[in-house]
Amino acid sequence: MKNLSKRATIARRLILPVSAAAVVGVSSLTGVGVASAHVTANAPTVTQGGYGVVTLVVPNESESAPTTALRVTLPGLKSARPEVMSGWKTVVTKKDDLVTEITWTADPGSPGIPVGQFGQFSFSGGPFPEQETVALPALQTYADGEEADWNQPTPADGTEPEKPAPTITLAAGGDGHGGHHAAAPATGADAPQSQAAETSQADSAARWLGGIGLVVGALGTVFGVAALMVVRRNGRGNA
């Protein structure tokens, strides 16, 4: 009985750590999914009061319908030029000679953003406001008529709302108003493609981390079950 008790204790010591590893692995994968569910905006080259390229990353959260339209609200820019996208039509809306909205609409017969995938929408523009963060509320429309309005600000306590507005963080300009010219508008096809490449690399890294977490969890479960079977087998042999 003492030997059996010792083996049971050892098994428990083995099973608990691997079970914890399984939980961590599954949590890692789940965290990746949650983090990628929101519409986000990236603008690493844009400075306060300057010009640059902004890329909106738009995941499809619907289980049955593709995303067929996206409208982003801008803070009144003198210039905003959307990137050319095959299968999508763009409309730039102005008010008092300032660009206030850009709308992308999937062409008839186009797949839009299919279920389980994401799309990237880029534009080059400015000058952006001389402030640290700028919200870019976005309205996502699905083929079945459902809409997701990503327009909620983040409260002072940092709690993430259900539908947070895409927000970009702007670095300080080089020399005050002179920074407007120092950060010249991005031109050419390479600028939007570079932004898209950075976003794709980040997404791939997140998927790899999630996959590794799942493998660790699965191995932990298998190892724990094997340890338990060894204890039971030895227990029968000593009976």
Dihedral, 19, 21, 27, 32 alpha carbons, nearest 10:
-150
| Confidence grade of residue 218 (pLDDT, cut at 50, 70, 90) | low
9-56 pLDDT, tens per residue? 544 554 444 444 444 443 333 333 334 479 999 999 999 999 999 999
Q: How far apart are CA 45 and CA 168, in angstroms?
A: 11
What's the pLDDT score for residue 58? 98
